[in-house]
């Protein structure tokens, strides 16, 4: 297994089905703040559903379509980042992130997202990385801004959550723009 140091006491590592118990405990701590922004947080509510979530990502990693990584702070899973969508043939991907409240304000999400973007551009040769977020999720759009992404627009009422239609902002960075 590999681990990438994000800070002296934080690491980015693959998040896999055998870690479902740890993932579920993390989701229980993070659910209130993550659920409005990442729909699968509300479906990982017991060990079976947490395992299924992680297995889906593992299966899609094998197909080169998605990838999931956890962020550990002082040995505790506190968040993660992922390739929500990954299309090597088209040269495009979408990344996403989440973090539980105890780990915010440390730059972990920005550092982890940089690792994924670097890998997408410099190792896989992709051309475009997207970031989708609800405009009300100011923390998320601030990370996209810190990463040097451009806000390309808004999809109005693009997805339902708890009976309300929500907008999605689309941010992106292209390989020639990435430093």
Q: Could you tell me the CA-to-CA distances from 32 to 5, 56, 99, 128, 131 in Å, in that order? A: 27, 23, 11, 31, 22
For residue 119, pLDDT over 80 is answered with: yes
Say how far apart CA 24 and CA 46 lie, in whole Å: 7
Give per-residue pLDDT as tens, 155-168. Answer: 999 988 888 999 99
For residue 148, pLDDT over 90 is answered with: yes
Q: Would the pTM of this model clear 0.85, i.e. be above it?
A: yes
* DSSP notation for the chain: ---EEEETTEEEEE--GGGHHHHHHHHHHHHHHHTTT-GGGGT--SHHHHHHHHHHHHHHHHTTS-EEEEEEETTEEEEEEEEEEEETTTTEEEEEEEE-GGGTTSSHHHHHHHHHHHIIIIIS--SEEEEEE-TT-HHHHHHHHHTT-EEEEEEEEEEEETTEEEEEEEEEEEGGG--
Residues 80, 72 contacting (CB under 8 angstroms): no
Domains of the chain: 4-177 (3.40.630.30)
Give per-residue pLDDT as tens, 16-62. Answer: 999 999 999 999 998 888 877 776 677 888 999 999 999 999 999 99
């Amino acid at each position: 297994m590999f681990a990438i140091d994000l800070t002296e006491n934080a690491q980015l590592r693959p998040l896999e089905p055998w870690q479902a118990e740890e993932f579920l405990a993390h989701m229980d701590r993070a659910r209130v703040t993550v659920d409005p922004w990442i729909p699968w947080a509300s479906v990982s509510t017991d060990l079976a559903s947490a395992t299924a979530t992680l297995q889906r990502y593992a299966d899609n990693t094998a197909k080169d379509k998605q990838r999931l990584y956890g962020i550990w702070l002082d040995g505790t899973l506190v968040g993660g980042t992922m390739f929500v969508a990954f299309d090597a043939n088209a040269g495009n991907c979408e990344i996403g992130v989440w973090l539980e409240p105890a780990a915010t304000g440390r730059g972990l999400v920005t550092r982890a997202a940089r690792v994924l973007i670097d890998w997408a551009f410099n190792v896989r040769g992709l051309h475009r990385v997207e970031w989708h977020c609800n405009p009300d999720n100011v923390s998320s759009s601030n990370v996209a801004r810190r990463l040097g992404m451009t806000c390309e627009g808004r999809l109005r009422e693009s997805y339902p959550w708890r009976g309300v239609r929500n907008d999605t902002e689309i941010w992106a960075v292209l390989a020639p723009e990435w430093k």
